[in-house]
A and B are shown apart, each in its own frame.
Chain A
Amino acid sequence: MTTPLRTERPPSAAARAVRRILHALGSLGGVVVVLLLCELLIRVGVLPGRFLPPPSVVLLTLATELTTPAPWLAMLDTLRGWAFGLGIATAIALPLGLLLGSNELAYRALRPVIEFLRPVPSVALVPLVFLLFSYDLGDGKIFLAAFASTWPLLVQTIYGVRNVLPVQIDTARSFHIPSFDVATRVVLPSAIPFIATGFRIASTVSLILVLTGEIVINAGGVGEAINAAREGSQVALMYAYVILAGLLGILINLVFRAIEHRALHWHPSHRVVAA
């Protein structure tokens, strides 16, 4: 089995873009089929329409709702909580992770604590948040998000720093490179792929916890809107907001993937494979 040699020139950028769009459209066929199937099953009455409104109704509700400011403000509120939660987690986890990764004694001392606190389901803290942040539940959801997203970032940073090949550090040392430069030019770059993965996980976790806070303790944003729509028995509106929550999740994931891809283009896992 040999691959034929390609003699023609590689396609131009425009041609590649067109091909990519066509490919994306081609893989949307399944979505259309599933949506139509749902629509049909609900209209015919196989699936109960009382709590499963047809997709067309939901999408229409979403479209009309998007012309009002309410969903935009809710999304902004959710994103604000997400950003603050992730920001606080970064401010804690990154320096701490670098320290624990590079100092064996500190790592040994804090490892049991981290290993014990990490698997604690952060939603267990919801009642505490109720009590402590009763003056402003918006801060409560930020606390939840920060607590939960600190762990993946911290652990990934520690792994990343500890994963640096000793040869690299020894090489840098034998060239008499000052230790600060070793930290910023040698250790950090080789730890960054791990840290980037930690960021991606932490960003998802932060969004999940912000929405949990919003739904469980009614702390504003998309989550509260979902809950409010359910309590008002506006089923289609509830699904519309659930879709919005999903879109936020996809958006955040895409943005982080793109940043990671761009910042780490030199790393093997992100190199474009030539084949």
Chain B
Amino acid sequence: MTRRRSALYIAAEVLTPLLIVIGVLIFTNGSAGFYFPPLQDVLVAFQRNWLFDRFGTDILPSLGRLFAGYLIAVVLGVALGVLLGHVRWLRRQMSPIIEFLRAIPPPALLPFTIIAIGVDSSAKIALIAFICIWPVLLNTMDGIAGIEPTIKDTGIVYRIRGRDSLLFVELRAASPQIFAGMRTALPLALILMVISEMVASTNGIGYFVIQSQRTFAIADMWSGIVLLGVLGYLLNLIFTLIERRALSWYLGARATTR
């Protein structure tokens, strides 16, 4: 009974995506209209554009900006978060400002970076970093401020001080929350990469997609959209793997207490 049931579930997991792909194939080959070209055309365009014709000219610059901005945000966010997590009065005074800056919807800052920094790569990196820093900062701050006193006391008893205490006790204890912040920041980085390339750019995936749309190269446009979807999926997957590895001690400890 249960075996038949699990076989049914697995069949459902495999069959539904297959059925959907077939459905899309039939729909786009039928009377879907000009904006929904046949799926095979999109796949051909995908292969022609991204494997690997435009890999160096569009994908690499895009990913470079994405990771540069994201890394800056993580490093600065963790550093400032540790500072604010330690100093209570500073945390109280700064939190209204942080709350406000965080609440500004990211694209609203795009015109600002265009005016202040320009339209080159550094402006896009700055924008990504500026938006991605808040979730990391807030989570680090809360994580550091909320470390269990027992953990700190134990560290003091063992005379773990200064740099060792920061690296091996505090950051370690706060790392589940820091990772939660980094996870929130990752899709933001991807979104901002695309938006910043759509508005003012001369290369990148976002630029390619919007340029294809303007020239009515619909299959090319869809190939870009599919690529962005695949990128989002892959980034999420890679992050989950890294997180699982880095937090294995924590996840393991939690699983046993369940």
Binding site for B on A (CB under 8 A): 26-31, 33-34, 51-52, 104-105, 108-113, 115-117, 119-128, 130-132, 207-208, 211-212, 215-216, 222-223, 226-227, 229-230, 235, 238-239, 241-242, 245-250, 253
**A215–B107 contact, CB under 8 A?**
yes
**A127–B210 contact, CB under 8 A?**
yes
Contact residues, B193-227 vs A (CB, 8 A): 194-195, 198-199, 206, 209-210, 212-213, 218, 221, 224-225
| CB-defined contacts of A117 to chain B, threshold 8 Å | 229
**B93–A242 contact, CB under 8 A?**
no
**A130–B213 contact, CB under 8 A?**
yes
Name the residue on A nearest B227 (C-beta). A124
Per-position binary interface string of chain B over residues 127-149, scored 1 when its CB falls under 8 Å from any chain A CB and 0 otherwise: 00000000000000000000000
| CB-defined contacts of A123 to chain B, threshold 8 Å | 191, 194-195, 198, 206
Give the residue of A27, A116, A212 whose beta carbon is less than 8 angstroms from that of B195.
A212
7 contacts between A and B (CB under 8 A): A27-B95, A112-B13, A121-B232, A215-B108, A215-B195, A245-B105, A246-B105
Range of interface residues on B (Cβ < 8 Å): 35 or more
CB distance from B159 to the nearest CB of A (A): 22
Per-position binary interface string of chain B over residues 91-107, scored 1 when its CB falls under 8 Å from any chain A CB and 0 otherwise: 01111110111011111
Give the residue of B108, B218, B236 whose beta carbon is less than 8 angstroms from that of A223.
B108
**B104–A249 contact, CB under 8 A?**
yes
**A116–B213 contact, CB under 8 A?**
no
* Bound: A208/B108 CA distance, A: 9
| CB-defined contacts of B103 to chain A, threshold 8 Å | 246-247, 249-250, 253
Once A108-B9, A238-B112, A249-B103 are accepted as A-B contacts, the answer to whether A119 and B97 lie under 8 Å apart by CB is no
**A31–B96 contact, CB under 8 A?**
yes
CB distance from B133 to the nearest CB of A (A): 16
| CB-defined contacts of B194 to chain A, threshold 8 Å | 121, 123-124, 126
Name the residue on A nearest B194 (C-beta). A123
* Bound: A242/B104 CA distance, A: 7
**B213–A226 contact, CB under 8 A?**
no
Q: Answer whether residue B233 sits at the interface, using C-beta atoms and an 8 A cutoff.
A: yes
**A226–B209 contact, CB under 8 A?**
no
* Bound: A226/B199 CA distance, A: 14
Once A27-B95, A119-B235, A238-B112 are accepted as A-B contacts, the answer to whether A125 and B225 lie under 8 Å apart by CB is yes
* Bound: A119/B104 CA distance, A: 22
Give the residue of B99, B109, B198, B233 whose beta carbon is less than 8 angstroms from that of A250.
B99
Q: Answer whether residue B190 sits at the interface, using C-beta atoms and an 8 A cutoff.
A: yes
**A128–B105 contact, CB under 8 A?**
no
**B107–A223 contact, CB under 8 A?**
yes
| CB-defined contacts of A29 to chain B, threshold 8 Å | 93
Give the residue of A34, A207, A227 whose beta carbon is less than 8 angstroms from that of B105.
A207
**A105–B228 contact, CB under 8 A?**
no
Q: Answer whether residue B116 sits at the interface, using C-beta atoms and an 8 A cutoff.
A: yes
Give the residue of B35, B99, B107, B224 whose beta carbon is less than 8 angstroms from that of A208.
B107
Once A109-B12, A131-B35 are accepted as A-B contacts, the answer to whether A121 and B108 lie under 8 Å apart by CB is no
**A128–B221 contact, CB under 8 A?**
yes
* Bound: A212/B206 CA distance, A: 14
Name the residue on B nearest A130 (C-beta). B213
Which 4 pairs show the lowest CB-CB distances between chains A and B? A30-B93, A249-B103, A127-B213, A119-B232
| CB-defined contacts of B107 to chain A, threshold 8 Å | 208, 211-212, 215-216, 223
Name the residue on A nearest B14 (C-beta). A112
**B187–A121 contact, CB under 8 A?**
yes
* Bound: A136/B218 CA distance, A: 20
| CB-defined contacts of B232 to chain A, threshold 8 Å | 119-121
* Bound: A29/B12 CA distance, A: 58
**B96–A28 contact, CB under 8 A?**
yes
Name the residue on A nearest B94 (C-beta). A30
**A242–B108 contact, CB under 8 A?**
yes
**A127–B105 contact, CB under 8 A?**
no
Contact residues, B17-52 vs A (CB, 8 A): 17, 20, 35
| CB-defined contacts of B104 to chain A, threshold 8 Å | 242, 245-246, 249
* Bound: A113/B13 CA distance, A: 9
| CB-defined contacts of A249 to chain B, threshold 8 Å | 103-105
Q: Answer whether residue B74 sits at the interface, using C-beta atoms and an 8 A cutoff.
A: no
| CB-defined contacts of A125 to chain B, threshold 8 Å | 225
| CB-defined contacts of B9 to chain A, threshold 8 Å | 104-105, 108
Q: Answer whether residue B1 sits at the interface, using C-beta atoms and an 8 A cutoff.
A: no
| CB-defined contacts of A31 to chain B, threshold 8 Å | 93, 96-97
* Bound: A250/B98 CA distance, A: 11
**A227–B111 contact, CB under 8 A?**
yes
* Bound: A119/B184 CA distance, A: 12
Q: Answer whether residue B110 sits at the interface, using C-beta atoms and an 8 A cutoff.
A: yes
Q: Answer whether residue B253 sits at the interface, using C-beta atoms and an 8 A cutoff.
A: no
* Bound: A177/B93 CA distance, A: 53
**B106–A208 contact, CB under 8 A?**
yes
**B35–A120 contact, CB under 8 A?**
no
